[in-house]
């Protein structure tokens, strides 16, 4: 049978991707340019017995998502940069308490209110370092309407599998444009649910490392009762200041991501094999870059595109290899130079690295990239 197809906005595809993944709770506070995610889920969630709550503010929305997840629901919130700033305290809480949840950030400019209706990519370092303290981070950066659907599903999978918050970041351009989408059939994309405890409620410890780096998570409201806190805690969930336990716990949380990077990392490469110039680009900017690659190849210029779809953890190994292969890496971003810092860190001076930056609310157009490639080659 032919697949169901539709012409959808990126934000609408995000909402349907969440539903495909089994999302049954949304708590949010409307903000441009992400509002359509909430709008669609406010119509769709009640139809499947899910819950939609418009909270009084951004941090309360994050609290509702953490609470819902702890009761065993698959919970989502959607916002933009200013909202992510307001959520940071509780994003950190979700990290340390190891609560699976998904945060959509449809990026506009900033800081503060910035330009609400303009696109931006200036929250990409915030996705890693926004909340204080050492913590692991996963952030996904889809570049098309179809990919927003599939990456939202993958965000839920990673959140559930690794018991942690996962962010999906895309900019206003991809969030609002319409493209054709083919809806995957049920079962076509993998859907992962968290591991639940098999021990008896009396023996259950919510952070028991003997079950591995991702201990099973019971649902509040079931027979399992446990303590949740933002303090460093022992296996039973109660606060501890014992040096070895605190150290073990912090390192285990980082290891969940660092130790599983091959499972989490996802990149796309386009004509990189013989490339002397590599463009490192993500989100809508990667589409301008791909256009530029096609134009430049017509002139015989050996240029290729490396497009991270998982932005955090950073694809260190592959970028280091490409830095050795290439004369130059060009990093176009709708910010004043954020991911270029990671590229530079990983390249360790092995090639020339040049940024193209734009923060005037307009996209980086292919011509800008073409000119820069010709300059460095």
Partner 1 sequence: MAQRYEIRFSGAGGQGLITAGIILAEAASINEGKHAVQSQSYGPEARGGASKSEVIISDEPIDYPKATVVDACLAMTQESADKYANGIKPGGVLLIDADFVKTVPAGEFKVVKIPIMRTAKEEVGREIVANVVALGAMIALTDVVSREAGLKAVLAKVPEAFLDLNEKAYSVGFEKVKEALDA
The DSSP line for 258-316 is HTTHHHH--EEEES-TT-SEEEE--THHHHHHHHHHHHHHHTT--EEEEEESEEES--H
- Report how far Cα 71 is from the mean position of its chain's Cα atoms: 23
* By CB under 8 A, residue 7 contacts partner 1: yes
CB of 279 to partner 1, least distance (A): 12
Task: Rule CB under 8 A: say whether 294 interacts with partner 1.
Answer: yes
Cβ distance to partner 1 smaller for residue 11 or 260: 11
CB of 177 to partner 1, least distance (A): 5
Residue 85 is a binding residue for partner 1 (CB under 8 A): no
First and final C-alpha spacing in the chain: 49
Task: Between 7 and 199, name the residue whose CB sits nearer to partner 1.
Answer: 7
Chain centroid to Cα 61, Å, comes to: 18
| Least separation in angstroms between CB 369 and partner 1 | 10
Query: Who contacts 160 (Cβ-Cβ below 8 Å, separation ≥6)?
Result: 74, 100, 192, 193, 194
Stretch that binds partner 1, among 153-161, 296-304, 314-322, 363-371 (CB under 8 A): 363-371
Say how far apart CA 274 and CA 293 lie, in whole Å. 13
187: left (phi over 0), alpha (psi -120 to 50) or beta: left
Q: Is 6 a binder of partner 1 (CB under 8 A)?
A: yes
311 near 282, Cβ under 8 Å?
yes
Among 118, 206, 332, 355, binds partner 1 (CB under 8 A): 118
Q: Which of 27, 23, 170, 165 is nearest to 90 (CA)?
A: 165
- 291 touches partner 1 by CB under 8 A: yes
Considering only 363, 370, 372, 373, the residue that binds partner 1 (CB under 8 A) is 363
Angle at 212 between CA 207 and CA 218, to 5 degrees: 40
| 287 touches partner 1 by CB under 8 A | yes
Smallest separation (angstroms) from partner 1 to the CB of 4: 10
Binding mask 151-190 for partner 1 (x = CB under 8 A): ---------------------xxx-xxxxx----------
Size of the site for partner 1 (CB under 8 A): 25
Instruction: Give yes or no for residue 269 binding partner 1 (CB under 8 A).
Output: no
Among candidate residues 345, 165, 339, the one with its CA nearest the CA of residue 257? 165
Distance of CA 100 to the CA centre of its chain: 13
Q: Which helix (H) or strand (E) holds 171?
A: strand 165-171
Least spacing, CB of residue 260 vs partner 1, in Å: 31
CB closer to partner 1, 2 vs 243: 2
Could you write out the DSSP letters of every residue in 15-61? HHHHHHTT--EEEE---TTTHHHHHHHHHHGGGGT-EEEE-SSHHHH
Using CB under 8 A as the binding rule, whether residue 288 contacts partner 1 is answered as yes
Separation CA 153–CA 131 (nearest Å): 24
Of 69, 366, 370, 372, the one binding partner 1 by CB under 8 A: 366
Which one of 22, 72, 116, 209 is in contact with partner 1 (CB under 8 A)? Answer: 116
Binding letters toward partner 1, positions 221-260, x by CB under 8 A: ----------------------------------------
**Closest CB to partner 1 among 289 and 323?**
289
Catalog residues that contact partner 1 under the rule CB under 8 A.
Answer: 5-7, 32-33, 116-118, 172-174, 176-180, 284, 287-288, 290-291, 294, 363, 365-366
């Amino acid at each position: 049978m032919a697949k169901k197809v539709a012409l959808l906005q990126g934000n609408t595809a995000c909402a349907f991707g969440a539903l495909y993944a089994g999302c049954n709770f949304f708590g949010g506070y409307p903000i441009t340019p992400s509002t359509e995610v909430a709008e669609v889920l406010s119509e769709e969630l009640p139809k499947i017995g899910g819950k939609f709550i418009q909270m009084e503010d951004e941090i309360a929305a994050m609290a509702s998502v953490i609470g819902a997840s702890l009761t065993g629901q698959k919970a989502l919130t959607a916002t933009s940069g200013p909202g992510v700033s307001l959520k940071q305290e509780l994003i950190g809480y979700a990290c340390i308490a190891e609560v699976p949840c998904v945060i959509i950030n449809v990026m506009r400019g900033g800081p503060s209110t910035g330009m609400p209706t303009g696109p931006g990519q200036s929250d990409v370092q915030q996705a890693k370092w926004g909340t204080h303290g050492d913590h692991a981070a996963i952030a996904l950066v889809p570049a098309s309407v179809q990919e927003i659907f599939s990456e939202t599903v993958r965000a839920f999978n990673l959140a559930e599998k690794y018991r942690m918050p996962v962010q999906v970041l895309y900019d206003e351009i991809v969030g609002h444009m319409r493209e054709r989408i083919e809806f995957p059939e049920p079962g076509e994309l993998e859907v992962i649910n968290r591991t639940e405890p098999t021990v008896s409620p009396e023996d259950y410890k919510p952070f028991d490392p003997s079950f591995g780096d991702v201990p099973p998570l019971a649902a509040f409201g079931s027979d399992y009762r446990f303590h949740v806190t933002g303090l460093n805690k022992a296996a039973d969930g109660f606060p501890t200041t014992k040096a070895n336990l605190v150290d073990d716990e912090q390192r285990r949380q980082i290891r969940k991501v660092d130790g599983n990077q091959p499972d989490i990392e996802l990149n796309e490469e386009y004509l990189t094999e013989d490339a002397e110039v590599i463009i490192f680009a993500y989100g809508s900017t990667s589409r301008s870059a791909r256009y530029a690659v096609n134009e430049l190849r017509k002139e015989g210029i050996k240029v290729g595109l490396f497009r991270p779809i998982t932005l955090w953890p950073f694809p260190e190994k592959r970028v280091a290899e490409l830095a050795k292969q290439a004369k130059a890496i060009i990093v176009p971003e709708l910010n004043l130079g954020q991911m270029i810092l990671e590229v530079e860190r990983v390249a360790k001076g092995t090639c020339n690295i040049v940024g193209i930056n734009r923060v005037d609310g307009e996209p980086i157009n292919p011509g800008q990239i073409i000119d820069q490639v010709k300059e460095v080659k």
